[in-house]
Every structure is written in structure tokens, then in C-alpha cells.
Amino acid sequence: MDFSAIIPALPGLWIGMITTLELLVLGVCGGVALGTALALMRLSHNKTLAKIAATYVSYFRSIPLLLVITWFYFAVPFVLRWITGVDTPVGAFSSCLVAFVMFEAAYFCEIVRAGIQAIPRGQMGAAYALGMTYGQTMRLVILPQAFRKMTPLLLQQSIILFQDTSLVYTVGLMDLLNAARSRGDILGQPHEFLIFAGLVYFVISFTASRAVKHLQKRLAV
Amino acid sequence: MNYNWNWGVFFQSTGIGSEIYLDWFVTGLGWTIAISLVGWLIALVLGSLLGVMRTVPNRLLATIATTYVEIFRNVPLLVQLFLWYFLVPDLLPEPLEMWFKQDLSPAASAYLSVVVCLGLFTAARVCEQVRTGIQALPKGQLNAGYALGFTLPQVYTTVLLPQAFRIIIPPLTSEFLNIFKNSSVASLIGLMELLAQTKQTAEFSANLFEAFTLATLIYFVLNMSLMMIMRWIEKRVAVPGLISVGGK
């Protein structure tokens, strides 16, 4: 084993890392936004909306992420063409991002739902009594408290997503893992680069989950 | 880019032998189940052992188990799979390495790697569930066992574990379902499980929406039926007297 070839390759690996981080950040933001909307649908009094959201969640939770990524990679260009009527080239990055957002939303939805349900019912009543609308109640009273409570869980799910971004390998997107694999293959040192990539993932996930545990203890009532 | 819908595609010939596309899905599902069940067996045995190690009054054993869990939980599954498939065979002693690379068929070596990978990956998760289950039991159970003159292994096998396992069936179920979903990574080292067969069908027939819809449906039905089986087991073995069970 000779790890000296990794140092000159670091700038290239960093570009891969940026792709990974972009996927992570955009995936989490989109996933939480869509997940929150789904959670509100699931908790709404409108039976149809609740049913749609519940079906969405159980659908995405019962299929593998890798299937979603592969499917979207093939399907998104077709679907876009049907909608817009023109051929729009869609890169692997966009299709992967759509896959992550839609898939993770199902998981974030369940976290947000549990967070909202943990807020005492009286808060809703109090907000309504003050003359707030549903939108105001959610935006100003319920969600800020719920998000505070579920921050550790949201972060934990984000760490899982960080690891899952490596699955974009299947569509050839140059994330950290793929950058390391391709460089390792070119330089004839696949093992060293693979171990290095694994180490980077490990250090980041480990440190992050330690920090989340710490936060969890601090936020605990 | 005109798309021709054709839901009958599954009954058409693949052009290879006398197979129709549906046969590919059946073969793929077979591999998926074969990977998941054997992987689950490894995960359950090793995970239980590690879970017990984390709770016994022995620092060294607990540290070993904790380290294992941290490593296997913080490295992405795909990286682990590549390590098992590309790196580990090179580290094996010469005869074993030759056996893995030359005597085994490509499918067999990929299968072996993915089963070991998924088994060890899931074991870390099973370990955490088993530990939670054991720790959820009242401390008095352990002491009562000691008071009756049981040794520590006896307390574990006859008092703690039988109860812990029954408590943790719901979280174990979700790990069990996860291993089926995670088995799809096998497609990335060339094993023709369900996802790989789906991709192949999509490429051969150009009916990608139909192929992926069928695959989704298979995963969905598989997931639902496994969940129902586990719910049934959960009800049958519930520990009487706990809040979660309901009733008296």
C-alpha cells in the first residue's frame, strides 16, 4: 500500500467532494421542504390530501433508493419532454437531485409529522383563539417549536443521506466515491483510493453523529 | 424520443434462448431473496452477539462491539461493498484468493461479497436494537436471575434475550425490510438481482417505464407481505403485560 499518490490527486477529489456536498445540501433542503408539505397534508382534516401523502410515503419507503435514482435518470428527460414539449437535456446531477429530494421527503415527512404531533394540542387552540389563520398558526407557532424538537432527528437523517449520496455512482456522476474510484483506476492504485474515500466518509459521518448526539443531550428536556 | 407504451412487453421473447422478459424478473427476484435472507441470517447472529457484548459487565467486550458499530455505521454501504469485492480478496492468503478469483463463477464471487457485506453492515444496526431491547428490561430481571443461582450466560439465554427479542420485533422488522432494499447495491458489482434485471429489460426492450413500474411493484408487494408476516409474528410472541401489547 502506497498512499503518496493521493496527495497530488487531492484537488480532483475535492471537486468530487463538492458534488457530494451540493447533493447533500440541496437534497436536505428540498427534502425537508417537500417533507414538511407532506406532513401537513398527512395531518390535515382533508381525507383525500391525507391519503395522497400517506400513499406517497409508504410508496417511497418500500422501494430502494438505488431503484429511484436509476429510474429517474432514465425517466426524467422523457417526463420533462411530455410536460414542456421540447427536448431538454437533463444532467445526471439534476436527475439524482430530484430522486434524492423525492425519496428523502418520505423519510423527512415522518420526522416532521412526529415533531408536530409532539406539540400540545392547546397551542393550536391558543393560536386560533388569537385570531390566527391556519397558515399563521403553523408558520409562527407550531412549526418553529416542532423543528426545534426534531433537529437531532433531521440531522441524523441528513447523515444517512450523506452516505447515500455515494449511490450516484450508478449513473456515473463524479461524486467523492466515483472521483476516488476513477483516479484509483487510472493510477493503478484502486485500493488506496477506495480506502481513502471510505476514511473521508467515516470521519465526516462519525464526527457529525457525535455532534448530533451531543446536541440531543443538550436539547433533551 | 417518441415513447411506445407496451405493457405486454413482459411476455415477449428476450431474444436470448426461449426466455421472456418476465423470466428475468423472476430470476432477479430469486437473487434478491437469496441475498437478503442469507445476509439477514449473518446480521441476526452477529448482531445479537455484538448487542450482548455491549451490555455485559466487561469493558473490553463492550469497546470491541462499540467500535464495530461505529465503523460499520459510518461508512457508506457502497464503499463497504467495493471494499469486500475489490480489496478483501487481494488480502486473502494465496489459495483462498485464487479460489475466489478463478474457481468461483463471477456470479458466485459477487454473491459471496454482497452477502458478507450486507450481513456485517446490518449486524451493526441489529446490535443497536438488541442492546436497546436488553437495556429496556428492568434491572431486577438480571438480579432475579442471579438470585436464582443462574450464571451470567444462563441469565442471558433464559431470561434477558427471550424477552428482549420479543420487544424489538418492530425495529428489527424495519431492518429486515432494509436489507431487501439494500440488496439492490449488488447490481453495481454485476450480480443480476432484481434491479439489474430491470435495467437490462429497460435497455433491451426500450420499454423502461413498464420495466421500472413492474420492479417498483415487486419491491412494494415484497415489502408489504414481509411486513404483514412480521406483524403476525409480533402478535403471536408478544410479551404479556407490557403497555405496547394492550389488553390486560
Is residue B141 packed enough to be buried (19+ CB in 10 Å), middle (13-18) or exposed (0-12)?
Answer: middle
Q: Please give the pLDDT value at position B247.
A: 40
Q: Which residues on chain B are in Cβ contact (under 8 Å) with A75?
A: 208-209, 212
B245, pLDDT greater than 60: no
Q: Please give the pLDDT value at position B50.
A: 97
Distance CA A5, CA B207 (A): 44
B246, pLDDT greater than 50: no
B135, pLDDT greater than 60: yes
Distance CA A160, CA A100 (A): 12
User: Is residue B16 helix, strand or coil?
Assistant: coil
Contact B73 A201 (CB under 8 A): no
Q: Which residues on chain B are in Cβ contact (under 8 Å) with A166?
A: 76-79
Q: Which residues on chain A are in Cβ contact (under 8 Å) with B184?
A: 64, 66-67
- Structurally, chain B folds into a number of domains equal to 1
Q: Does B187 touch chain A (CB under 8 A)?
A: yes
Contact B79 A66 (CB under 8 A): no
Q: What is the pTM of this model?
A: 0.91
Q: Which residues on chain A are in Cβ contact (under 8 Å) with B198?
A: 67, 70
Would you say residue B53 lies in a domain? yes
Q: Please give the pLDDT value at position A91.
A: 85
Domain that holds residue B213: 12-245
Cα-Cα-Cα-Cα torsion A73, A77, A78, A83, nearest 10 degrees, comes to: 130
pLDDT class for B1, splitting at 50, 70, 90? low
Q: Which residue of A has its CA nearest to B180?
A: A64
Q: What is the pLDDT of residues B223-238, one digit of tens each?
A: 999 999 999 998 888 8
Q: Are B242 and B167 in contact (CB under 8 A)?
A: yes
Which of A:26-85 have CB within 8 Å of B?
Answer: 59, 62-67, 70-71, 74-75, 77-78, 81
CA angle B171, B177, B179 (to 5 degrees): 105
Would you say residue B224 lies in a domain? yes
Contact A75 B224 (CB under 8 A): no
Q: Which residue of A has its CA nearest to B215?
A: A67
Nearest to B74 among A71, A190, A205 (CB): A205
Distance CA B93, CA B48 (A): 29
> What single-letter amino acid sits at B42?
I
Contact B209 A77 (CB under 8 A): no
| CATH number where B74 lies | 1.10.3720.10
Mean pLDDT of the residues in chain A: 93
Domain that holds residue A76: 3-219
Q: Which residue of B has its CA nearest to A87?
A: B1
- Determine phi and psi for A64, rounding to 5 degrees: -70, 145
Q: Please give the pLDDT value at position B213.
A: 93
ipTM comes to 0.91
Picking from B25, B68, B184 by the largest number of A CB atoms within 10 A of its own CB, the best residue to mutate is: B184
Q: Does B215 touch chain A (CB under 8 A)?
A: yes
B248, pLDDT greater than 70: no
Q: What is the helix (H) or strand (E) element at residue A89, kind and residue range?
A: none
Q: Does B87 touch chain A (CB under 8 A)?
A: yes
Mean pLDDT of the residues in chain B: 91
Q: What is the pLDDT of residues A33-91, one digit of tens each?
A: 999 999 999 999 999 999 999 999 999 999 999 999 999 998 888 888 888 877 777 88
| CATH number where A186 lies | 1.10.3720.10
Distance CA A109, CA B87 (A): 38
User: Is residue B77 helix, strand or coil?
Assistant: helix
- In sequence order, which ranges of A44-91 are alpha helices (DSSP H)? 47-61, 65-84
CA A82 to each of CA A42, A100, B1, B161, B208: distance values in angstroms, whole numbers, following the listed order: 29, 22, 10, 56, 15
- Structurally, chain A folds into a number of domains equal to 1
Contact A63 B219 (CB under 8 A): yes
Q: Which residues on chain A are in Cβ contact (under 8 Å) with B1?
A: 77-78, 81, 87
Per-residue pLDDT of chain A (221 residues; tens, 9 = 90+): 788 888 898 999 999 999 999 999 999 999 999 999 999 999 999 999 999 999 999 999 999 999 999 999 988 888 888 888 777 778 899 999 999 999 999 999 999 999 999 999 899 999 999 999 999 999 999 999 999 889 999 999 999 999 999 999 999 999 999 999 999 999 999 999 999 999 999 999 999 999 999 998 888 75
Distance CA B189, CA B225 (A): 28
Would you say residue B3 lies in a domain? no
Q: Does B219 touch chain A (CB under 8 A)?
A: yes
User: Is residue A220 helix, strand or coil?
Assistant: coil
Contact B219 A59 (CB under 8 A): no
